[in-house]
Amino acid sequence: MVRCECGYGIIWVMRTQPLMRRRDFLFAFTAATVAGISPAAVRAAVPSSTQRVLWLRRAGTSDEIAVPFCIDGRTVYYPGYNAICWLMRDRHVAAAEGYVRIDIVEIEALWEVQQALALQGVRRPLIITSGFRSVQTNLATENAARNSMHCYGKAADMYVDGISTRDLFDACWSRAVSGGIGYYDSHVHLDSASRRWWVGDLAVPVFDPALANIRGDSVVNA
Ligand SMILES: [Zn+2]
C-alpha cells in the first residue's frame, strides 16, 4: 500500500495498478526519454487538478525528465513515479542500493514548489544536486546531518537556473503543508519531515514547552 496525498485528501492505493492505457504509456515513455523542452515539460508548469507532472534535471548530468506521478488526481502513476525515483537515486553506489522508493509526500512537495514558481512565470526544471543518499554517501557528504532525511528518501537538494536560492527558499516556504527547508548559498534543501527551517549549518531553535515551564517557574520564584 502506498499513501498518496493529493488535493482531494489522503487516499490509500494498492501498488498493483490496473493495466496501463496505451496512451498513458506512450506519454510517460516519451516524457521520460526526451530531454530538454518537451510538451510534457511545458505541461509541468501548468497547474492541473488531476495530472501532476514533475520536471526535474540531475545536476552534472544530461538526465532530465518531465513525467506525471499522478494522472487522476488520486493515485500514484508508477511509470512516472519510478522515473522520478531513478533520477533521484544515489549515484555513488550500485543501482541495487541507490535506487529506492522516494517518499510520495516529498515528490508532492517538489511538485508544489514547481507550481508556485510557475505561477510567478518561472517554467524551468528543478535541478537536483542530491536526492536519496545511502548511509556511506551521507557519511562522505560534507556537513550532512547523521540522521539526514536524504537517507530515508524524504529529501532533495536543488536549485533552479535563473532564480536566486532566496527566491527558491521563499517558494518552498509558501507551501501550506509541513516540511523542512534549509537555505544554502548554492541550493535549497526540502524534505517531507516536520515543518522547520534553517540557514546553512545554523539550526533554528525548536520551541520546547518543558523549557518554557522551567523559565516560567524561575520568573515566579524571582
Ligand atoms: Zn539536503
Which residue range forms the structural domain that includes residue 115?
2-211
Residue 43: predicted pLDDT: 58
Q: Is the model more confident about 30 or about 188? A: 188
Average pLDDT of the segment spanning 207-211: 52
The answer as to whether 221 is a domain residue is no
Residues 38-56: tens digit of each pLDDT: 555 555 555 566 899 999 9
Average pLDDT of the segment spanning 75-80: 97
151 Cα: distance to centroid of ligand 1 (angstroms): 10
Residues 122-169: tens digit of each pLDDT: 999 999 999 999 999 999 998 888 899 999 999 999 999 999 999 999
The answer as to whether 222 is a domain residue is no
Number of domains observed in the structure of the chain: 1
CB crowding 182-217: b at 16 or more within 10 Å, else e: bbbeebbbbbbeeeeeeeeeeeeeeeeeeeeeeeee
21 Cα: distance to centroid of ligand 1 (angstroms): 36
51 Cα: distance to centroid of ligand 1 (angstroms): 27
Average pLDDT of the segment spanning 192-212: 68
Chain-wide mean pLDDT for the chain? Answer: 78
pLDDT at residue 176 greater than cutoff 60: yes
112-116, 144-148, 202-206: least confident range: 202-206
| CATH assignment at residue 167 | 3.30.1380.10
The answer as to whether 220 is a domain residue is no
pTM, 2 dp:
0.72
150 Cα: distance to centroid of ligand 1 (angstroms): 6
Residues 83-92: tens digit of each pLDDT: 999 999 999 9
Q: Distances from the Cα of 197 to the Cαs of 29, 129, 179, 190, 200, in angstroms?
A: 37, 19, 8, 9, 10
155 Cα: distance to centroid of ligand 1 (angstroms): 6
